[in-house]
Structure formats: C-alpha cells, structure tokens
Structure 1
C-alpha cells in the first residue's frame, strides 16, 4: 500500500531505536517531515542520516520524557514553526523490572508510570490543539499485550500499558466528531532492546524485526483511516483488530 504523506508533519517519540526508529523512517519514505524525539542523541543522528539518505527530512529533538516542561515546550515550538501537527506516534516507553509486585522499588514503579503514562498524557495535552489544526490528524499510541494478559511479575509495565490504552480510547471518544483519528497498537513480540531485557533467554532471530512492525503500523497514519478508538495488534506483519469490551 502506497501512502502519500507529502507536506505532513509527524512527531515520533522513542525514535532513536527499535519500532520508533523504523516508524520514523517509514514516515519519511512516505514524504512526511519527521520530528524525532528520544534521549539518545547518537541514535537520533543515525536516524537523521538514514532519512537524508532516502531524500527525506527530519528535525531532531533530544530530551527525556521525564522532563514535563520540555514536553509542554515541544508543543509550543511545533506551533511556532509549522502551525500544526498531522501525525503523532507515541512510542517511547520503559519496561521497569520483571519482579513480584511487593519487590518492586517505589522509584522503579514511579519511573514506569512517569514515562509510560504521565508523559503520554502530557504529550497528548501538548499536541492535541496542533492535531486539531490538521485536516487529517492521526495518532497512534503504542501499547502491549501485557495490558491484557497481566502475566505474573509484569505488574508495573502491564498497568502502565492498560492506562495508556485507556487514555487513547478516552481521547478518541472526545474527538470522534473531528477529523482526528486515534488508535492503539500492540506490536507483539518484536526484536527490540526492551524485549531482550524482558526475555533474555529468547532467540531474537525468531522475532519480527522492528522494521516489519513499522511497515504494518504505517497505514494507520494515512489520510484514509476512518476508525478511531480501536486497538490493533500486529501479527505476521499485518494489522488485525483486537476486540475491546464495550
């Protein structure tokens, strides 16, 4: 499927590696100008080189999502330079630890909630007025199967992703009468650093590469999307509906 995103402005968080990196690259291939955000400057510079190599363009914004003032300022900066935002991919997140609930340190739990939930809410708040100025605003919030499986020892991450899905669905309900379309995506097990941290004994070569997941996500960011508030899962490099309770 060819998607034309010429003239579109896209913001991707966690863009220095993994799914965020390759989604940013796919957006650039489709013609969007990518605002790439992450903590790791080196990874962002690698992304910038890759985007330039295909004739695309990017703006690098290195900062830590724990810096709430920086998130607020980002929205203002986007408005001043472009006057709108067409696409948001809220991808950045942290795993925390795989541990019994009672063994998780408070500072670890707080960090997971800060980065995965509070920063996502703050980001939505910052860019919602900008997406409203687009004729076809699109937002994809990255979730996880952990939000529904709630496996033992995954409490912090599972709770954070359930909360992120709730934010996305609520936001979609509030904007359903506008052109903005909002979806959540469970990418499934993917060959990323976070997956290696969570399941260290797994052979990464048995998992889909994040570039394949990025290609599956891209159609949700195109102007032809009509559905909002839905959760999709990536399986065998394709999107499938995940039926949520009414």
Structure 2
C-alpha cells in the first residue's frame, strides 16, 4: 500500500536513473516534495518533468557524491529551506570492477568505498538532525544481496554493501528511542545500467524493471512503518523480511 506523504520532504540520491529515479517519482506521486540528487543533470531534468506530469514537485541538486563538502552543505541547505527532512533514500552507488581482489586497482577500490560507504556515512551525518526534527523520520539505505553472498570477483562492491548495512544497523540502535526509523533493503536483481554492467549476457527482460522495485519500496517509507534496524528484500515485487543475527 502506498503511504500518504502529503507535506513530507524526501531526499533521494542517485535519482537520475534506475531505482533512485523511480523511487523519487513514486514519492512525488504519494505527495512528498522530492529533493533529487545525482551527478547527471539531464537525468534529473527528465525526472523533474515526470514529477510535474503527475502533479508533484521536486528540487534538483546536481552534485557528485565524491564531493564531501557538498554533502556537508546539503543538510544546511535543507534546514534553511524546510527546517526538517522526513525521508532519506540513500540509493546512489557504483559497482567498480568484477575482478579478483588481488587484481583490483587501488583507485577503483577507493572509488567504490568513497561513493558507497564514506558518502553514505557523510550523508547520514549531514541529515540526521533534520530527520530527528520530523515527527516520523524514515531512512532507507539501499544495499544488495552481494553483501551476504560474497560471490567471487565482487569483493569491493560486496564489502561496501556489507559496510553500509552495518552503518544502518548501528544508526538504528543509536536512535531506537526516537521516532526515526532506519532500514536497509536489498532490491534484488533489477533492470538497471549497473546490472547490465555486472551481468552483460543477461536478458534484461528476465529481471524486474526499477519502477516495479520502487513501487514495492513505498510501504517502508511512510509514517506507519515502525520497524527499525532490519534488512528487507524485494522479491517478486513485494517486501520480504530478512532475519539478521542480533
């Protein structure tokens, strides 16, 4: 069920394509004002047009998540304009290379960790005070099955997603007495550019479209969602609870 997000403010990273794009669109359809962050200006402009077409509103913030100073300033800018943040969807990420660990170039490993882990931590630090000001702050950290499967040749990406899950669970434990609720999600195989890069021989028609995944995520982002610290999976366009060890 899609929650009513009227008058709520949502920030989505990696919003210019894939899961981020369609999650931002679903949030706008549900009534939220969307702060859409991504590197690709053209993709953000297409999103803005799509959001306006469904009667929604968005603020476009084009920047690279490798720019840590920009992430730090983002929280202040949101506070100045809205005074709070109701929803965070930390979706942006990079794959790196599919390669044996010992063959991964240092610059590739460092980029994966910078974008997937350090930028996520920096984003959490920047917007947590705003999420706490909401009466029902919700944060969703997008992970991957790679964090648990640890398949050969996926070392940097798997390690980065395991790290962001650990950040999310720690953050959830630290804030469990507050109205803020924090979850991780493994969206499963999805028809994205990253998936095509990772599995080049796959028929894209055999995996779900990101619009289907985004629609499945919506119940995790509303005020009625009360779980925190959990990892959920999207499978067959529905949310499945994944039991993690204490």
Q: TM-score range by the shorter chain?
A: over 0.9
Aligned to 1:172: 172
Alignment of 1:111-190 (within 5 A): 111-190=111-190
Cα distance in 1 between the residues matched to 2:232 and 2:55: 31
Alpha-carbon distance in 2 for matches of 1:238, 1:55: 26
Q: In the aligned structure 2, how far is the partner of 1:120 from the partner of 1:90? A: 7
Separation (CA, whole Å) in 2 of partners of 1:141 and 1:163: 11
Alignment of 1:64-75 (within 5 A): 64-75=64-75
State the partner residue of 1:56: 56
2:114 is paired with a residue whose SS is: helix
TM-score, with length taken from structure 2: 1.00
2:77 equivalent to 1:86: no
Q: Match of 1:28? A: 28
State the alpha-carbon separation in 1 of the partners of residues 216 and 76 from structure 2.
31
Q: Are 2:39 and 2:63, in contact at CA under 8 Å, matched by a contact in 1?
A: yes
Describe the SS at the equivalent of 1:135: coil
User: 1:2 Cα deviation (Å)?
Assistant: 3.6
Aligned-CA RMSD value: 0.4
1:194 is the counterpart of 2:194: yes
Q: CA deviation at 1:66?
A: 0.1
Q: TM-score, normalised by structure 1?
A: 1.00
Runs of 4+ with deviation above 6 angstroms: none
| Unpaired runs of at least 5, structure 2 | none
1:132 is paired with a residue whose SS is: helix
State the shift of 1:206 in Å: 0.3
SS in 1 for 2:133: coil
Deviation readout 1:149-170 (Å, 9 max, x if unpaired): 0000000000000000000000
Q: Give the unaligned 5+ runs of structure 1.
A: none
1:95 equivalent in structure 2: 95
Number of equivalent positions: 246
CA distance in 2, matches of 1:219, 1:62: 27
Partner of 1:237: 237
Give, in angstroms, the shift of residue 130 of structure 1.
0.3
Distance in 2 of aligned mates of 1:177 and 1:185: 22
Which position in structure 2 is the counterpart of 1:10?
10
Counterpart-to-counterpart distance in 1, 2:229 and 2:100: 32
Distance 1:231 1:217 in 2: 12
